[in-house]
């Protein structure tokens, strides 16, 4: 009897173990596997999107992909804390799949925007580069304050930095640099343009002076010299016909009338050569002394002094010459007009005392200069 009971107990135990095994097997088979593949796909997709610049050009989509990925990882860790047969990774899987899709969309958007942005930046850089290249031809000629040159220099440096960033596909940084470059260059440009607009108000007078000088040369069968300060040229006329042009250099502060002695400005007006000089009577090889200050210069000087525009201790100055020693590549004189020694040699013997010398700001109008240089 006892043996039968024992067998029954063993049978029941075996049956229980068998059923438990079946249940365990069913639980194992039904156990939801972690979405490792989906999470890894999402991670890789986000990395690819970032490499495509999604964190710059498709930031919202990129952030959504990251948020979905973070949610997938959150639910993944949350479910792993539960007993295995109670785990449910469905939310983790859904968010991982969603993250991968959002990352792929962000990558596509970033590439499209990047292509357009790249083209946009190329246009901005080229436009500013052209402005800079054309502007500097005029800009370097102008006697401007140091802060203007500082802006101009900063603009040039920033433009170079923007080009470097562009070449390295750092388009956001490139955009910032080119905008800053544009700001500095534009500030310098506007100051220069205001100066020129004010200066060229005298253009009608310059043209009149030059025309009268050429007419005088033609009618009197004589020579005449016209100095164009802006183009840095001197022109020799004979009987109203242009015979020679030479490069010149002027005083550092060459724009406008000469106001007083020591201002390093080259005068403007109609003058006459009153003396010819040669070494050792001039330290500049050869020279023509002109009759500055003339009546107009004296009148302008005294009027400015009366208005307090010139200090009372200042003199009007004199000894303005057309002389040699030029070719230095900069405006360096105290107000004189400097030619290369070889150029003054060409005209020295054919120019006599009494020859008219007309000094003008420009023979071209400002609009002609601006259009020519695309300022």
CA dist 235 to 102, 174, 242, Å? 72, 47, 7
Given 64, 90, 112, the domain boundary residue is 112
Q: Is 346 found in the same domain as 254?
A: yes
Q: Is 220 found in the same domain as 250?
A: yes
3-state helix vs strand vs coil in the chain, percent to 5 = 60, 15, 30
Q: Is 92 found in the same domain as 38?
A: yes
Q: What is the largest CA-CA distance in the chain?
A: 159
Strand partners of residue 321: 289
Q: Is 210 found in the same domain as 356?
A: yes
Q: Is 322 found in the same domain as 226?
A: yes
275 vs 287: CA distance, rounded Å: 8
At residue 159 the predicted structure's pLDDT band, cuts being 50, 70 and 90, is: very high
* pLDDT of residue 55 exceeding 80: yes
pLDDT at 374: 44
Flag whether 93 is in a domain: yes
CA dist 184 to 143, 147, 266, Å? 18, 11, 30
Instruction: Identify which of 114, 269, 131, 275 has the alpha carbon closest to the alpha carbon of residue 202.
Output: 269
Flag whether 373 is in a domain: no
Flag whether 372 is in a domain: no
pTM more than 0.75: no
How much is the average pLDDT of 212-224?
A: 96
* pLDDT of residue 350 exceeding 90: yes
Q: Which of 68-72, 125-129, 139-143, 184-188 is least confident?
A: 139-143
Q: Give the CATH number for residue 336.
A: 2.40.440.10
DSSP-H helix ranges across 31-143: 36-51, 54-57, 59-80, 90-139
Instruction: Identify which of 258, 260, 256, 216 has the alpha carbon closest to the alpha carbon of residue 240.
Output: 216
At residue 87 the predicted structure's pLDDT band, cuts being 50, 70 and 90, is: confident
Contacts of 288 (CB under 8 A, 6+ apart): 273, 275, 276, 277, 321, 322, 323, 351, 355, 357
pLDDT at 375: 44
Annotate 293-315 with b (16+ C-beta within 10 A) or e (fewer): beeebeebbeeebeeeebeeeee
pLDDT at 88: 86
Q: How many domains does the chain have?
A: 3
How much is the average pLDDT of 344-356?
A: 95
Q: Is 179 found in the same domain as 314?
A: no
Strand partners of residue 227: 234, 359
Please, what is the average pLDDT of the chain? 88
Q: Is 355 found in the same domain as 268?
A: yes
Q: Is 328 found in the same domain as 254?
A: yes
Q: Is 294 found in the same domain as 231?
A: yes
Give me the domain span that covers residue 82: 2-112
Per-residue pLDDT tens digits for 264-298: 999 999 999 999 999 888 889 999 999 999 999 99
Flag whether 314 is in a domain: yes
pLDDT at 56: 77
Flag whether 371 is in a domain: no
Q: Is 266 found in the same domain as 304?
A: yes
Q: Is 158 found in the same domain as 295?
A: no
Given 200, 220, 240, the domain boundary residue is 200
Q: Is 89 found in the same domain as 38?
A: yes
Given 64, 84, 112, the domain boundary residue is 112
Q: Which of 15-24, 266-275, 303-312 is least confident?
A: 15-24
Q: Pick the residue with more confidence: 156 or 15?
A: 156
359 vs 321: CA distance, rounded Å: 12
């Amino acid at each position: 009897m006892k043996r039968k009971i024992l067998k029954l107990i063993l049978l029941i135990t075996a049956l229980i173990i068998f059923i438990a095994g079946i249940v365990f097997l069913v639980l194992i088979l039904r156990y939801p596997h972690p979405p490792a593949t989906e999470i890894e796909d999402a991670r890789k997709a986000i990395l690819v999107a970032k490499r495509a610049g999604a964190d710059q050009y498709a930031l919202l989509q990129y952030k959504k992909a990251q948020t979905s990925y973070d949610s997938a990882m959150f639910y993944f860790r949350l479910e792993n804390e539960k007993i295995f047969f109670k785990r449910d990774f469905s939310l983790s899987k859904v968010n991982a799949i969603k993250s991968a899709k959002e990352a792929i969309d962000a990558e596509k958007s970033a590439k499209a925007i990047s292509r357009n942005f790249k083209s946009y930046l190329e246009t901005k850089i080229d436009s500013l580069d052209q402005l800079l290249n054309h502007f500097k031809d005029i800009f370097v000629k102008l006697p401007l304050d140091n802060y203007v040159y500082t802006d101009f220099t900063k603009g040039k440096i920033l433009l170079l930095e923007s080009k470097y960033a562009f070449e390295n596909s750092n388009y956001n940084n490139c955009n910032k640099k080119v905008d800053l470059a544009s700001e500095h260059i534009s500030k310098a440009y506007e100051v220069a343009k205001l100066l020129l607009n004010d200066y060229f108000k005298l253009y009608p007078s310059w043209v009149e002076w030059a025309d009268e000088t050429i007419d005088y040369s033609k009618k009197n069968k004589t020579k005449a010299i016209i100095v164009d300060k802006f183009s840095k040229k001197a022109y020799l006329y004979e009987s109203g016909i242009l015979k020679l042009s030479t490069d010149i250099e002027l005083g550092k502060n060459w724009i406008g009338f000469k106001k007083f002695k020591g201002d390093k400005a080259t005068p403007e007006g109609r003058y006459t050569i009153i003396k010819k000089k040669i070494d050792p009577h001039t330290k500049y090889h050869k020279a023509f002394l002109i009759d500055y200050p003339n009546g107009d210069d004296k009148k302008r000087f005294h009027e400015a002094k009366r208005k307090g525009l010139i200090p009372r201790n200042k003199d009007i100055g004199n000894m303005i010459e057309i002389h040699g020693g030029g070719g230095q590549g900069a405006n360096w004189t105290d107000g004189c007009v400097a030619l290369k020694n070889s150029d003054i040699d060409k005209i020295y013997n054919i120019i006599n005392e009494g020859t008219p010398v007309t000094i003008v700001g420009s023979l071209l109008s400002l609009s002609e200069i601006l259009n020519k240089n695309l300022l």
